[in-house]
Structure 1
Amino acid sequence: MASVAAFVAPLALSGSRASTSRAQLWCLGRPGAGWATSRRRRSRVVALATGGEDAAAATVRAVENTDVTASAGVNGALTEAATTPPPSPPPPPVFPARVRRTLTPDLAVGYAVFAAAQAIPFVWPNSGNVGDVLFFMATASSALYTGAKGAAFEADSTEKLTPKQAATAPIGASFSLFGAYCLLRYTDVNVGALFNVVTTSLGALCLKEMVDPVTHGLLPAGVRDWVALRLGGGGDSGSSGLDAGNVVTGEEAAPTAEGKPSPQANGGELLVYGDEMVAWAFAIAITVAYLTKTGPPNFLLSNVIAGALCARVLSFIRPESFLAIAGLLTGLLAYDIFWVWGTEVMVSVAVAIDTPAKFLFPRAISPEAAAASTSAAAAYPFAVLGAGDVIVPGVYAAFCLLALDKVLVYGRDASAAGGDISAVPAGPYFRAALAAYVAGLAVCFGANMVFHAAQPALVYLVPALIGSTLLTAAARGEFWPVVRYKAVAAMEARGEAANEEALSQDKVDS
């Protein structure tokens, strides 16, 4: 029996392959069924060849039990795979909060007035004294207004301008001015090139900062919040350079326990966003165009850079008290009188050095008049207003807005600006200072036309500014609170310093 089974086994095996072809086609819709049937038939044939029918039946039952167990395992795995949710993607990188100077209506008005003023020489050429008065009043007042309103976005640090620093500022300015005059007159040093390097470098940075609100407010979110560059720090990627895969969908970072955005949320990296890249491109293009000019100064490019320089610089100077800012203006008033009316130094340096630290308005001068003139200022083809005549009054106007209006009028902490310009409405002191600045500038240009000589603008601006504040304070019954005003942050910083000094002295004594 065993020998017959051994002889038949190969034939039976080959026959089963042929006879199950149709069954395999039928089992295509049942995964695993055709394989299990074929396996059972082969097991039965082998069992008959080796141990008889009883052994064959036992072998087939064992194989079927194995198939059931395997099928259950496969079905269980499939069920578990179907019910288990897919792994969640890694969380996006957390970026620090962006406190930006957005394009508020106040800033938009300032930008619009400044841009309209730059069009006056083109739409009204050879307008004479009327044109340059309108130009300088609109240009200077809009730069001052924009800088003072934009100062609300800057951190109200405890480092304040003290009365001692205000008293020494005119002395330092005098040394710088007289040093430049000596280099121009008695040496062959190209002072203009040195001033151009410093001024245009600082001007490019200030121009980028001034364009930031425009690009941040007008560009689409996909461009504005795109992290175009990641520099330094470890971060998740551990690399720097272009990172086109990062798009910030929101501007809020994960807060710390104190409720403030963590400065190290991005691994210490410097993130450059899409709106900042556009602002940098604009600022660099303007600066390069100015530096590569030929012939006379390009007054339009110079005015754009000078406007940004004035608006940004004035927003970083924070006087600690009314006496400090009044002392600064009074000291610079004496400086202006001495160097403009007492000597030729100020005028000579202003017309000899072409840097974007002044506002220019073209004026028509005939070649005959230029040749006959014995004064460099008379032959200069531009009317000039220095950047200091905007920055210094602008610091005062910003003080009126962020200190007197915000604290005395609206009763808010001066350190609570927090980047929200709507929290700093223009109050009576800022409005009075702005009106006084425009009036003082008009009187200055009127005196210039009457006397046909350079005028120290601060002679007219400083009394107008300080007088407007004192008159407003007297009308509101706040004269002594204004005169005695001192920033809370400055007093707290001095108190902490005094406490630390006392503690250290106690330790020494003990």
Structure 2
Amino acid sequence: MAEVEEVLSHPLNNTDEAIKGTVKLVATPVGTALAYGSLVFMALLPIFYGALRSVRCAKSKNSSDMPETITSRDAARFPLIASCTLFGLYLFFKIFSQEYINLLLSMYFFLLGILALSHTLSPAMNRFFPVNFPNKQYQLLFTQDTGETKEEIVNYEFDTKDMVCLAFSSVVGVWYLLKKHWIANNLFGLAFALNGVELLHLNNVSTGCILLGGLFIYDVFWVFGTNVMVTVAKSFEAPIKLVFPQDLLEHGLEANNFAMLGLGDIVIPGIFIALLLRFDISLKKNTHTYFYTSFFAYIFGLALTIFVMHTFKHAQPALLYLVPACIGFPLLIALVKGEIAEMFRYEESPKEVSGDSNQEKKESEKKEN
């Protein structure tokens, strides 16, 4: 899981004065509005589609698509782990050459980004293939031991269409590796965010509140209490943030005066919003009240972040505004509707789903034998 270490930063030049927010904006009002609007739009895409795909993911019996469930214990520890990681990166950038560190990170995210983008594109690409396309099935299976002690290490199923997506993603990966272009960065960033919302599942609302509450404190401390997060955000050359140039109208695709939004400010609220969508479905009322409430609350929180940042000319911890909005609005609606207790009782049990899947698999193997 990508660390939550980026913030919606002040769109200034990469100087010490810019990091402190003490120099004047160089972008035009139209360019600034375009950049902010594009960031908001790009942030909403992985949350909306990732939440929809998380519903299918929760019902999937394919081991390669099984979600990773975050428990309350994981949620409580995550801000501490994220803080140690963030400070460790800060020390690395202070002690060692940024060039070599970012080279290693580029190679790592090059491989990870190709897989993430391929997984993201695969369902959508099915619509573009003709019906008579020769789609062969493949399986990558690694096991250890034999007989009754045989255990699966990797079991990944894919087909010819997935390989086409992988080839396209590899082209984007080479483009990113060679040019570090902001469009390639955003393609990978959107893929990471969508996969995060789809595959990372909170087991209940209480866990979501613990996670968001802890990262609320984490974000505020590392942005307002120190210069660590903003320094790392400026130094870290990896597709863990969405960027959009404010000088696009003046310099075209070669523009370089970026506003940026970290993937953590998308994925963390996004997995909570996805949980509320699955809760809506569990109510069987054919309404998505809590999903849409939290989704529009996210828009409100992000717009408020941009407004405050633009007004005070200083980088803002987006979770400072997103967490109260994404938690507060749905809880208020649940309180009004008298469903607050039902909301907190709702709990997903992935172990049971996994167990059912394994049981069916064993029964199938017995029939074959």
Using structure 1 for the length normalisation, give the TM-score: 0.56
**Paired residues for 1:110-129 under 5 Å:** 127-129=30-32
Spell out structure 1 runs of 4+ moving beyond 4 A: 156-159, 228-233, 268-272, 488-494
Task: Name the CA shift for 1:228/1:333 in 2 (closer, same or farther; >3 Å).
Answer: same
Equivalents in 1 of 2:169, 2:95: separation in Å? 35
1:229 Cα offset (Å): 5.8
Q: Residue 131 in 1 paired to residue 34 in 2?
A: yes
Task: Name the CA shift for 1:410/1:299 in 2 (closer, same or farther; >3 Å).
Answer: same
1:280 Cα offset (Å): 1.0
- Return the letter of the residue paired with 2:47: L
Partner of 1:370: none
Q: Residue 219 in 1 paired to residue 80 in 2?
A: no
Equivalents in 1 of 2:208, 2:139: separation in Å? 40
Task: Name the CA shift for 1:127/1:158 in 2 (closer, same or farther; >3 Å).
Answer: closer
1:444 Cα offset (Å): 0.3
Equivalents in 2 of 1:363, 1:406: separation in Å? 40
Task: Could you tell me which runs of 5 or more consecutive residues in structure 1 were left unpaired when the two chains were aligned.
Answer: 1-123, 234-267, 366-379, 412-424, 495-510
**Paired residues for 1:80-95 under 5 Å:** none
Partner of 1:195: 105
**Paired residues for 1:35-50 under 5 Å:** none
Task: Name the CA shift for 1:476/1:179 in 2 (closer, same or farther; >3 Å).
Answer: same
Q: Residue 395 in 1 paired to residue 256 in 2?
A: no
Equivalents in 1 of 2:204, 2:318: separation in Å? 24
**Cα deviations by residue, 1:280-329 (Å, 9 ceiling, x for unpaired):** 11111111111011xxx411111111001100022111111111011000
Equivalents in 1 of 2:81, 2:43: separation in Å? 24
- Return the letter of the residue paired with 2:50: G
State whether residues 158 and 490 of structure 1, in contact with CA within 8 Å, keep that contact through their aligned partners in structure 2. Answer: no
Q: Choose from 268, 280, 293 the match for 1:405.
A: 280
- Return the letter of the residue paired with 1:308: A
Partner of 2:94: 185
- Return the letter of the residue paired with 1:276: D
Please state whether the residue corresponding to 2:242 is helix, strand or coil.
Answer: strand
1:454 Cα offset (Å): 0.3
Partner of 2:55: 152
**Paired residues for 1:27-426 under 5 Å:** 127-155=30-58, 160-188=69-97, 190-223=100-133, 225-227=134-136, 272-293=158-179, 297-364=180-247, 381-402=257-278, 404-407=279-282, 409-410=283-284
- Return the letter of the residue paired with 1:202: L
State whether residues 318 and 395 of structure 1, in contact with CA within 8 Å, keep that contact through their aligned partners in structure 2. Answer: yes
Please state whether the residue corresponding to 1:361 is helix, strand or coil.
Answer: strand
Task: Name the CA shift for 1:226/1:340 in 2 (closer, same or farther; >3 Å).
Answer: same
Equivalents in 2 of 1:488, 1:141: separation in Å? 27
Task: Name the CA shift for 1:277/1:171 in 2 (closer, same or farther; >3 Å).
Answer: same
Task: Name the CA shift for 1:270/1:436 in 2 (closer, same or farther; >3 Å).
Answer: closer
State whether residues 148 and 314 of structure 1, in contact with CA within 8 Å, keep that contact through their aligned partners in structure 2. Answer: yes
Residue identity over aligned pairs, in percent, reads: 30
- Return the letter of the residue paired with 1:136: L
- The structure with the largest alpha-carbon Rg is 1
Equivalents in 2 of 1:328, 1:203: separation in Å? 25
1:472 Cα offset (Å): 1.6
Task: Name the CA shift for 1:338/1:269 in 2 (closer, same or farther; >3 Å).
Answer: closer
Task: Name the CA shift for 1:351/1:478 in 2 (closer, same or farther; >3 Å).
Answer: same
Partner of 2:330: 469
State whether residues 200 and 356 of structure 1, in contact with CA within 8 Å, keep that contact through their aligned partners in structure 2. Answer: no
Equivalents in 1 of 2:155, 2:90: separation in Å? 44
Equivalents in 2 of 1:329, 1:384: separation in Å? 21
1:429 Cα offset (Å): 0.6
State whether residues 180 and 191 of structure 1, in contact with CA within 8 Å, keep that contact through their aligned partners in structure 2. Answer: no
Equivalents in 1 of 2:206, 2:246: separation in Å? 40
Task: Name the CA shift for 1:126/1:356 in 2 (closer, same or farther; >3 Å).
Answer: farther
State whether residues 227 and 271 of structure 1, in contact with CA within 8 Å, keep that contact through their aligned partners in structure 2. Answer: no
State whether residues 34 and 246 of structure 2, in contact with CA within 8 Å, keep that contact through their aligned partners in structure 1. Answer: no
1:142 Cα offset (Å): 1.2
1:127 Cα offset (Å): 2.8
Partner of 1:238: none
- Return the letter of the residue paired with 1:460: Y
**Cα deviations by residue, 1:482-507 (Å, 9 ceiling, x for unpaired):** 1333225569999xxxxxxxxxxxxx
